[in-house]
Structure 1
């Protein structure tokens, strides 16, 4: 049984690490060339740490939707999760359950999954170009690729606590408060001669609305978009772990993030 912690319906004053507004966009990082690793480490330190209030959505979570805001908290209890003892057990239970969950939100999902550790910087996992390139890498069959490109393509992340979250909760930026063209900075990385990736660094802007769910439990996953081929600006929603001073001495958080492409015929 999961025992919820006391709920604070207000906000948390903290800091977030944005890409420094005073710096030029990062150069393309080509890891096939010497010296790129040090340039990558330099960019990791090119941050602007700013005071931010992150608002608690608990009790108001139904005001935010995947279509309008780019994210949604859902109720999704998976009793079998409590009996999991290993990472393989968690995967075996969560992958099909998460596919079913996304199926309820977007038709005909195609399962693609991965884990991710806490990241204390404001970022997106893709840019529009990065998402489409990743899609073409995942879907290798030319006929399947051509068929799926006729659909609405979404990259969906499902972030779920494995225990009630105290330390390092996940903050999500309301897409309705984002100017994608101005706020998101492409960061392309050439990994080898066959593959490149492009994520988004994020610059601060007045009006950014950050939210999280206080005491988020395993039955309250956060579903959010990292790409939507039909949305203006692609709706690649920025997010970040953050420090809540009330819980800094707690054990490290336990969570899993599952990613998938979903395809909706329109």
Structure 2
């Protein structure tokens, strides 16, 4: 599979925000309602004001050695991928589901050798999506180190999102993963997306399960505490056809998850807003349903 063109690196000194795991209030469940009215002031909802600490890191630009970074060695990988969805169409959820979902399923299968991939959700960030109700904020880049699912949380997602529940039970008994496929809508300069090398993050000291109250459903992510040994990477000036694929969870892989965050590049802090679209996928390596759910 083709990879991204090599260029000279451009590293950035940046600040990352972590959960202060020494403060007992960090464990209060996050509130994440689906109701748009409730989400107007989502930061003020119960559990959403976490105690935090900041740390400085040099974020390394992968451009000069991009082939070195793979899902199985670092937990993330950049690949070249064109989509038939135009920039204007990223705002159209039905178009995205009809065209981009199948494209992403095919991409992930080819990259991983998976037998089954199910795109269960997507998220646009920035002004890519017109917002008729100006009181409801557009989803913005997340400047907070996190991992979308804990090991138990990944099972909750697979069991709740795969339509065929008996098949879902088989998926979680074998090797399965949850991967995100992150694509710029236009070239990224402001608020770039950084991944920490999976091998630099220690489960026992850096991660703690964090409940998420999503309406009536309780999910679980990783809260991430600081560690000076974390190694951070990004792709400078990431293009719309330079797709980042990363693991939130892998049940049996050599690396099982990464943590990630947006960060501020001081040179581009006042630039145009970042626009991106992120696909969320459940990946099975050893199960094939009678009929594809995707």
| TM exceeding 0.5 | yes
1:81 aligns with 2:81: no
Query: 1:69–1:141: structure 2 CA closer, same or farther, 3 Å change rule?
Result: same
Structure 2 residue aligned with 1:215, among 208, 217, 237?
Answer: 237
Structure 1 segment 115-154 matched on structure 2, within 5 A? 115=123, 117=125, 118-154=141-177
Would you say how many aligned residue pairs link Structure 1 and Structure 2? 253
Q: Once the 2 structures are TM-superposed, how far is the Cα of residue 91 of structure 1 from its aligned partner?
A: 4.6
Aligned to 2:129: none
Aligned to 1:19: 19
Query: 1:196–1:116: structure 2 CA closer, same or farther, 3 Å change rule?
Result: farther
> Where does structure 1 differ by over 3 angstroms across 4 or more consecutive aligned residues?
81-86, 89-93, 190-193
For residues 24-55 of structure 1, what are the alpha-carbon distances to aligned partners after superposition, in whole Å with 9 as ceiling and x for unaligned?
Answer: 37334286xxxxx6541332xx1111111100
Q: Once the 2 structures are TM-superposed, how far is the Cα of residue 200 of structure 1 from its aligned partner?
A: 1.4
1:64 aligns with 2:72: no
Aligned to 1:94: 100
Aligned to 1:114: 122
Query: 1:209–1:167: structure 2 CA closer, same or farther, 3 Å change rule?
Result: same
Query: 1:214–1:144: structure 2 CA closer, same or farther, 3 Å change rule?
Result: same
Q: Quick check: 155-164 or 136-145, which moved more?
A: 136-145
1:224 aligns with 2:246: yes
Q: Secondary structure at the match of 1:42?
A: coil
For residues 221-264 of structure 1, what are the alpha-carbon distances to aligned partners after superposition, in whole Å with 9 as ceiling and x for unaligned?
Answer: 100001111137x7221000000011112110111010010100
Q: For 1:30 and 1:77, how far apart are their aligned partners in 2?
A: 36
CA RMSD of aligned residues (A): 2.5
Q: Once the 2 structures are TM-superposed, how far is the Cα of residue 116 of structure 1 from its aligned partner?
A: 5.1
Q: Quick check: 255-264 or 92-101, which moved more?
A: 92-101
Q: For 1:213 and 1:132, how far apart are their aligned partners in 2?
A: 30
Query: 1:16–1:83: structure 2 CA closer, same or farther, 3 Å change rule?
Result: closer
Q: Secondary structure at the match of 1:235?
A: coil
For residues 175-226 of structure 1, what are the alpha-carbon distances to aligned partners after superposition, in whole Å with 9 as ceiling and x for unaligned?
Answer: 0111122111221123454x10111121111211000001110111100001
Contact 1:55-1:212 at 8 Å conserved across structures: yes
Contact 2:155-2:172 at 8 Å conserved across structures: no
Q: Once the 2 structures are TM-superposed, how far is the Cα of residue 149 of structure 1 from its aligned partner?
A: 3.0
Aligned to 2:275: 254
Q: For 1:85 and 1:192, how far apart are their aligned partners in 2?
A: 29
For residues 106-156 of structure 1, what are the alpha-carbon distances to aligned partners after superposition, in whole Å with 9 as ceiling and x for unaligned?
Answer: 312122222054100000001011111111111354421233234311101
Aligned to 2:211: 188
Aligned to 2:109: 103
Aligned to 2:136: none
Contact 1:13-1:52 at 8 Å conserved across structures: yes
